[in-house]
C-alpha cells in the first residue's frame, strides 16, 4: 500500500516558483525533488543552481536536492553543501536519458560503466555524512542489464532506490518493464520507490494491486498534468475550474516577478500548459494557439478563453498525457 508520494523533478517545469505555487494550491506529496544540479570543476554553486537549491526558496517544502555527476569527489562536495543548508537527504540521478547528459557519462549514461559505478559508491558511502537516495533506470539498451546493477545497489546502504523501469534508449516511450521491476522489488535490500507512467488514480491503484509491497511512488508528469492527482490519491477532491484558474494566474504572476520579464513568464506558462491543457474537453483549437502565441497578450487571451469556453474532463479515468 502506498505510504509516500514523491514529486519527481521535471527540469524546466518543477523549479522553485512552480513548486511553491503548486504546493500552496494542491499539495498531497510528501517530498519535492529539486531538479538536478551538476557540480562544477571548481566546486562553485552557480547562481541558477543556488536559486533552486537555496533553502530560502524551498521554505516550508519537504525538499530533496538531486545531484548529477559521475565523479565521487564532486558528489561528496555537493552532499556536504546541501547538508550545510539543512537538507536531510541528497539524491543521485542515474535516470536522466537525455543524450547531452549521457554523452558525458552522467545520468543513466553512468549505468554503462558498472565497475566505475561500484567504485563511485564505494568512495561515496565510505565518507558521506548524509543519507543518499538513488533514482535509476534499468540500464542502457536491455532490461537484463539491471540484475548486475542491482548487485551493486545491494552492496550499499541506499536510503531509497527509485526505479524507473525503462532503459536509457527507450527514454519515455513504450511500455514499462514491470517484470524486471518485480524482480528488483523482491530482492532489493534497500527501500524501493516506483516511478513511471503514473498519470491517473486508476493507474496508481493498479500498481498497488500488482505490487502491494510498494510503499512509495514518484509522480512527475501526472502531477503536472493533473495537479490534484496526489490529493485524490489521499482521498481528496479533484481540481475545480476556479482552483485551476487561480493557480495558473498566480503562477504567471510569480514567474513575472521571478524573471522580471512578462515574455519569459509567458514562455514558462506555455510549458506548463503543454500538460495542463489535457484536463479540458475539446481543447485542440486552443491548444494549437498555446503552442504558437507570440506575445504575452496573446497568451493571456488564450488562457482566459480556456477557462471561459472549455469544460473540465472527467479525469478520474484514462490517460491524460
Phi, psi for 314 (deg, rounded to 5): -80, 90
Q: Which residues have CB under 8 Å from 105's CB, separation 6+?
A: 70, 112, 113
The rounded distance, in Å, linking the Cα atoms of 181 and 296 is 44
Please work out, in degrees rounded to the nearest 5, the angle formed at the alpha carbon of residue 69 by the alpha carbons of 52 and 174. 90
The rounded distance, in Å, linking the Cα atoms of 98 and 102 is 6
pLDDT at 72: 98
Q: Is residue 136 within 8 Å of 161, Cβ to Cβ?
A: yes
pLDDT tens figures, 212-251: 999 999 999 999 999 999 999 999 999 999 999 999 999 9
Task: Give 10-residue mean pLDDT values along the chain (321 residues).
Answer: 95 94 97 96 94 94 98 98 98 96 96 98 98 98 97 98 98 96 97 97 96 97 97 95 98 97 97 97 96 97 98 64 44
Q: At what angle do helices 114-127 and 72-84 cross, to 10 degrees?
A: 40
Domain ranges of the chain: 4-233, 241-309
Q: Is residue 148 within 8 Å of 118, Cβ to Cβ?
A: no
pLDDT tens figures, 32-83: 999 999 999 999 999 999 999 999 999 999 999 999 999 999 999 999 999 9
pLDDT at 12: 87
The rounded distance, in Å, linking the Cα atoms of 286 and 274 is 11
Give the global pTM. Answer: 0.94
The rounded distance, in Å, linking the Cα atoms of 305 and 71 is 49
75-95 burial, b for 16+ CB within 10 Å, e for fewer? bbbbbbbbbeeebebbbbbbb
pLDDT at 127: 98
pLDDT at 318: 43
Percent with pLDDT over 70 in the chain? 98
pLDDT at 320: 47
Question: What 3-state class would DSSP assign to 281?
Answer: coil
4-233 CATH: 3.20.20.70
Question: What 3-state class would DSSP assign to 230?
Answer: helix
Amino acid at each position: 500500500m502506498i505510504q509516500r508520494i514523491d514529486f519527481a523533478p521535471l527540469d524546466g517545469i518543477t523549479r522553485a516558483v512552480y513548486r511553491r505555487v503548486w504546493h500552496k494550491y494542491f499539495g498531497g506529496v510528501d517530498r519535492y525533488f529539486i531538479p538536478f544540479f551538476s557540480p562544477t570543476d571548481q566546486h562553485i554553486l552557480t547562481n541558477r543552481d543556488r536559486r533552486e537549491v537555496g533553502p530560502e526558496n524551498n521554505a516550508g517544502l519537504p525538499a530533496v536536492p538531486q545531484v548529477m555527476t559521475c565523479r565521487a569527489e564532486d558528489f561528496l562536495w555537493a552532499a556536504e553543501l546541501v547538508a550545510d543548508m539543512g537538507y536531510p537527504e541528497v539524491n543521485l540521478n542515474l535516470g536522466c536519458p537525455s543524450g547531452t547528459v549521457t554523452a558525458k557519462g552522467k545520468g543513466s549514461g553512468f549505468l554503462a560503466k558498472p565497475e566505475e559505478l561500484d567504485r563511485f559508491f564505494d568512495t561515496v558511502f565510505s565518507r558521506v555524512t548524509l543519507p543518499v537516495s538513488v533514482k535509476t533506470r534499468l540500464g542502457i539498451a536491455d532490461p537484463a542489464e539491471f540484475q548486475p546493477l542491482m548487485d551493486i545497489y545491494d552492496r550499499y546502504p541506499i536510503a531509497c532506490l527509485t526505479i524507473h523501469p525503462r532503459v536509457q534508449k527507450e527514454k519515455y516511450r513504450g511500455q514499462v518493464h514491470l517484470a524486471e521491476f518485480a524482480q528488483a522489488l523482491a530482492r532489493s535490500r534497500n527501500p524501493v520507490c516506483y516511478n513511471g507512467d503514473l498519470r491517473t488514480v486508476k493507474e496508481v491503484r493498479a500498481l498497488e494491486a500488482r505490487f502491494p509491497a510498494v510503499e512509495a511512488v514518484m509522480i512527475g508528469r501526472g502531477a503536472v498534468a493533473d495537479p490534484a492527482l496526489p490529493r485524490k490519491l489521499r482521498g481528496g477532491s479533484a481540481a475545480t475550474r476556479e482552483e485551476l484558474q487561480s493557480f495558473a494566474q498566480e503562477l504567471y504572476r510569480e514567474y513575472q516577478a521571478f524573471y522580471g520579464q512578462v515574455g519569459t513568464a509567458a514562455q514558462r506558462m506555455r510549458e506548463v500548459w503543454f500538460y495542463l491543457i489535457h484536463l479540458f474537453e475539446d481543447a485542440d483549437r486552443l491548444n494549437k494557439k498555446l503552442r504558437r502565441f507570440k506575445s504575452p497578450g496573446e497568451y493571456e487571451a488564450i488562457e482566459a478563453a480556456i477557462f471561459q469556453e472549455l469544460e473540465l474532463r472527467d479525469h478520474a479515468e484514462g490517460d491524460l498525457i
